[in-house]
Amino acid sequence: MRRWIDHLIFIIALSFTFGPDGIAAQPIDRPPGIGGDPVDGRRVALIIGNSDYPDGSNWSDLPNAANDAAYIARLLEDPARGEARFETVTVQNGTQEDLLAALERFGGLAEEAAVAVVYYSGHGFQFADQNYIVPIDAPQSVSQNDLAMHFVSMAEITGAASADGFNVYFLDACRSPGPVVARSSYVEGNPAPLFGAIEAPQSVVFYATSMGDVAYDAAPEDSPLSPFATAVGQAISYPGLDVPYVFGAVRDAVLRATEIYSPKQQPVFTGSWSRPFYFVPASMQDFAPVAVLPGGASARLRLGPTRSSETPASLDIPLEMMSTLDENILIVRVLERYRAEQILAMAEGGDPVAQYLAGYMYGYGAGLPEDHEQARHWLERAAASGHPAGQLELGYFLTRYGEPDERSRAVELVRAAADQGYAKAMSHLGAMMFDPQYAMQDEAEATRLYRAAAERGHAWAHYALSLRREDVAGHIAALSALAEAGNDEGHNWLCELSFAGFPVERSFDHCLAASRAGYTVPRAIVAMRYAEGDGVEANEESAEYWARMAAESFDISPVLDARMQAILAD
């Protein structure tokens, strides 16, 4: 999600070794080179929510699952979406016969669609590398030869979701050991294995929770919807958010909703797709979705905890937060409070923070239509005000889209932001000093900048200094503190440092946390460590799971991809 690393990866690779096979950190943004028109055309959805599992079946009731299905279906089929509206096939409390009939109908629709969405809320499990969803009439124990007679495999569902553009899956099922499923004829006592990764090429998959963890039916306990459904409903109702931003919004909201529980629920995202996709186009800034609540009551969906109908004169965001927080997270949090048109109004009124965010939003098509002319207009205004966020973002923009003779100006903008103590700018300027194309090599000054950025809490700077063998223990301790405070960057860089041979305590835990947060390289590292029994008990199933998660990421390097394919082939 750190699109600014796109540039740094090349620069730092010139000076540092990132670990075995030259593996470097990978960005988790939309695939490089994606641009132009988004996926448009007919949209269809299969939505299933199973709540009423029979007494004595060992499949516990999930009171909110059917509510979740009704809620998501109503949002997707809302006429207010216009051409972005979905044709939905919805099943609440479905038997196997119900589910198969719905699947057949959905498959017929998907054949002529550009986008197919599947939303499932209920129980699920894995058997013999196949994932199954559980109808309400499913038994608790069954012969392995009779699984297809009682359950519905995800392979059938992914086979039916055959849209021309791409497919999206939302899977709200626990991924901890479940009720009994026999491995041989009616022999009870074997717990159902964890609901694993599904194979779905040219698709994105949102798992409601991490491997081995539960997905809460409600949070707080009196909620009529699951925290995952609540977060998904909000995220797919923001105009102009591409898939990575939707995931960021979902994960952030679910983590906050479940922070009082142990463990917190951490959604996981994986996917491979080639064009932007918006559940609500950026042009529909007035979109006001209607949510269906239990009992059939309708209410306007409340987007975010404090979205305001009044537009203030400026955005009150601490500079310290902006200097270390990725824009993809910052944008989502701001959109929870204000509509894009309100941000533009504040920008017109002269607020440099709103101008910087408007420039970013136009530049990346995040909440506003991608428009580089508008992006430059707002970034120029923000930079002219002397605000470091605007200066750095304009520097990024000129690096990506400016004329060749504007490179020196890009450097000066980054330098101006760094001179104001803006942590991200310090790291970026230091990295430039290792890049021959800028003809400004200065190792001593670059190291000073890294130190200053690290002191301000910039996780990547701690990582860069560790690679230079400077106070390794101190920087690892600082990254550990960031990780403990909930900063996923801390987990990511600690994982990569451990892979490069640095002495990181609980390194596997950090790699696992970063994997759950969506980082590709840690996912590959976890797969290799499970496969080799390196610091963790060897587990073929877990190795294959994480290998598949890594291999399906768009940004995996050829070296790591070959390693993942070898694990999957064993």
The per-residue pLDDT of the chain, averaged, comes to: 83
Considering the domain boundaries, does residue 119 fall inside one? yes
467: helix, strand or coil: helix
Q: Whole-angstrom Cα distance, residue 409 to residue 414?
A: 9
- pLDDT of 303: 66
In order of 24, 131, 541, the CA distances from 567 in angstroms are 20, 19, 10
Within 8 A by CB and 6+ apart from 168, the residues are 115, 116, 117, 118, 203, 204, 205, 206, 243, 277
Q: What percent of the chain has pLDDT over 90?
A: 45
Calculate mean pLDDT across residues 477-491: 91
87-92 and 43-49 strand pairing? parallel
- Between the ranges 1-5, 116-120, 191-195, where is the mean pLDDT highest? 116-120
CA-based R_g, the chain, Å: 24
Q: Whole-angstrom Cα distance, residue 337 to residue 349?
A: 18
Tally of structural domains, the chain: 1
- pLDDT of 450: 94
204: helix, strand or coil: strand
Considering the domain boundaries, does residue 135 fall inside one? yes
Considering the domain boundaries, does residue 116 fall inside one? yes
Range of the domain at 97: 43-300
* 508-558 pLDDT per residue, tens: 999 988 988 878 899 999 999 999 999 899 988 889 888 988 887 767 889
* 167-205 pLDDT per residue, tens: 999 999 865 555 545 444 333 434 444 566 677 767 888
Whether the CB-CB separation of 336 and 315 falls below 8 Å is answered with no
| Vertex 258: Cα angle to 508 and 264 (nearest 5) | 15
pLDDT score of 318 more than 50: yes
In order of 455, 479, 481, 570, the CA distances from 459 in angstroms are 10, 6, 10, 36
Q: Whole-angstrom Cα distance, residue 208 to residue 319?
A: 33
Considering the domain boundaries, does residue 81 fall inside one? yes
Whether the CB-CB separation of 75 and 117 falls below 8 Å is answered with no
pLDDT band of residue 89 (cuts 50, 70, 90) is very high
Judge if pTM exceeds 0.85. Answer: no
CB atoms near residue 535 (< 10 Å): 13
- pLDDT of 302: 66
- pLDDT of 190: 44
pLDDT band of residue 272 (cuts 50, 70, 90) is low
Dihedral sign of CA atoms 113, 117, 120, 126 in order:
positive
CB atoms near residue 329 (< 10 Å): 18
Whether the CB-CB separation of 240 and 368 falls below 8 Å is answered with yes
pLDDT score of 376 more than 70: yes
CATH of the domain at 79: 3.40.50.1460
pLDDT score of 129 more than 80: no
- CA-nearest of 95, 189, 107 to 141 is 189
* 379-422 pLDDT per residue, tens: 999 999 999 999 999 999 998 888 888 988 999 999 999 999 99
- CA-nearest of 260, 257, 268 to 225 is 257
* Token pair belonging to 545: 């799971």
442: helix, strand or coil: coil
CB atoms near residue 66 (< 10 Å): 23
Calculate mean pLDDT across residues 51-79: 88
pLDDT score of 214 more than 50: yes
* 306-316 pLDDT per residue, tens: 566 788 899 99
